[in-house]
Structure 1
């Protein structure tokens, strides 16, 4: 089973909703709620599609909803009559046993999982709990820590996207992960990633000096990301022209190499045929769609 993690922002949610519903037989998205004007509306889109998802209750970052906010605005509001979701608690070094117990005791009708972002000190306590999934963010918790968990419900999350400070700095190709191939051999029942956004989960952006299109290509044991960057890498003007430059590079590659073509790739093909710039948020959305399609196609 594949567990992509991302912020519940407009175009991330739209990416999920635009996917072929058959992909969700093997995909469980993990959503980190994110406050903005369309906060509830975006979650409602998933509800309308009847997509099963896991929602993170306690992502500690300034400006993000608190547990109380999520209870009031989602669980007791938008999700009040929706049953096709579950909850997850994100561990930090200072997470206490009391916090975990409160998480377990509340919303008893919903399944619950733990996301290990930092080590939790009382592992024997966690091993006694009936969590749906123990989800581990690799590179932040090590294998020795993971091995202390006895339950057969481990999910391995790797951040395979190598984010650069500037779009112009991306190489033509970077390795992503072999997690889709190796997770079972390490005792996992699932794996995941942060798609082509990366673990830092940036909240926003602005006009870029260069435009980049990130295309995941998963073949057999490995997944790589190909980065197609505009020829023009100076000035903030003409993002549409820069997008077409990057798209031209992408199409030359796609036409010469074997790659699964789902909604993401076919939409890029249509944009190239029409020489149309849909806006940078749509470029991001299509990259997410393609990434999920590529990963699910290979598992």
Structure 2
């Protein structure tokens, strides 16, 4: 199984909604969503769409980032509202990074009855095992223990229903820094996660784990595309960067410069078609540009479709 880790930003949620018709495979894809916006209308719409496709979602109730950090009550309220609408595919999920997170999770699971209905844990504590969680990680109602790769060796014999979480995206300071790299190895987790005793794996797609509310005008536009060539075990990632990067003017031109290189690369490598690649081609043919959020959305969509194809 694959657990794509997404923050609840607009275009990340739209990416999931637009992939529903792929269709997403409920036996292969179970997203983890960390809500980061107080206005949960987009999140609610996405969760309803995913539920309609029988896709379960691990919904983080104690967000580490964004406007909902420290506001678990809003997420619990949303879960109850969705239940009233017949959406029962939400798995309350707790990020565990400190002892405080552990205590909160234990009390919350008890008080809200999740020890009967089911919950999941994402272990972000990279160096220390929090022993107090032992009963909760072994409980049959603990559906998934997603463990950061840096802590996997110490925990994999203790936790059942394990998933491997990796941050495979090489996050550089500026988009222009990717000009020197062009392409690199991204991951082989899809192939080797069972060797680690895991039932699933998780990553942050082509975004990375670092969080920001949003940047200013882009001097350079970069498109990041994962791919796997026949006969090669590695998933690789290619970076396509605009050329007119002296100032922040004309982002559409910058996008088409990067997009032209992407189309040429895809054709030369004979990379299999996806929903996102078809949309990239349409943009290039029609010279249409709807903003950088759409670029990120398509990159996410392509990666999730790639992974689903590999593990199916």
Q: Residue 178 of structure 1 is aligned with which of 184, 188, 199? A: 188
Structure 1, 48-57 or 3-12: larger mean CA deviation: 48-57
Matched residues in 2 for 1:216 and 1:62: separation?
27
Supply the RMSD in Å over aligned alpha carbons.
1.9
SS at structure 2 position matched to 1:115: strand
> How does the TM-score come out when normalised to structure 2?
0.88
Aligned residue in 2 for 1:60: 64
1:65-144 paired onto structure 2 within 5 Å: 65=69, 66-72=71-77, 74-81=78-85, 82-95=87-100, 98-105=103-110, 106-108=112-114, 110-118=117-125, 119-122=129-132, 124-130=134-140, 131-139=142-150, 141-144=151-154
- Return 5+ residue gaps in structure 1 as ranges: none
Superposed displacement of residue 76, structure 1:
2.7
Question: CA 1:67 to 1:148, structure 2 compared with 1: closer, same or farther past 3 Å?
Answer: same
Matched residues in 2 for 1:295 and 1:104: separation?
32
Structure 1, 184-193 or 125-134: larger mean CA deviation: 125-134
Matched residues in 2 for 1:96 and 1:42: separation?
23
Matched residues in 2 for 1:135 and 1:27: separation?
14
Superposed displacement of residue 94, structure 1:
2.1
Aligned residue in 2 for 1:290: 302
Superposed displacement of residue 128, structure 1:
3.6
> How does the TM-score come out when normalised to structure 1?
0.92
Q: Conserved in 2, the CA contact under 8 Å of 1:218 and 1:295?
A: no
Matched residues in 2 for 1:97 and 1:244: separation?
47
Aligned residue in 2 for 1:194: 204
1:1-80 paired onto structure 2 within 5 Å: 1-19=1-19, 20-25=21-26, 26-37=28-39, 39-49=40-50, 50=52, 51-61=55-65, 63-65=67-69, 66-72=71-77, 74-80=78-84
- Return 5+ residue gaps in structure 2 as ranges: none
Matched residues in 2 for 1:249 and 1:124: separation?
50
Cα deviations by residue, 1:104-137 (Å, 9 ceiling, x for unpaired): 2214364201111013233543454221011112
Question: CA 1:21 to 1:111, structure 2 compared with 1: closer, same or farther past 3 Å?
Answer: farther
Q: Residue 273 of structure 2 is aligned with which of 261, 281, 285? A: 261
Cα deviations by residue, 1:248-295 (Å, 9 ceiling, x for unpaired): 111110110021211010110111111221211111110110111111
Is residue 278 of structure 2 the alignment partner of residue 278 of structure 1?
no
Aligned residues between the structures: 294
Aligned residue in 2 for 1:224: 236
Q: Conserved in 2, the CA contact under 8 Å of 1:3 and 1:190?
A: yes
Matched residues in 1 for 2:146 and 2:94: separation?
10
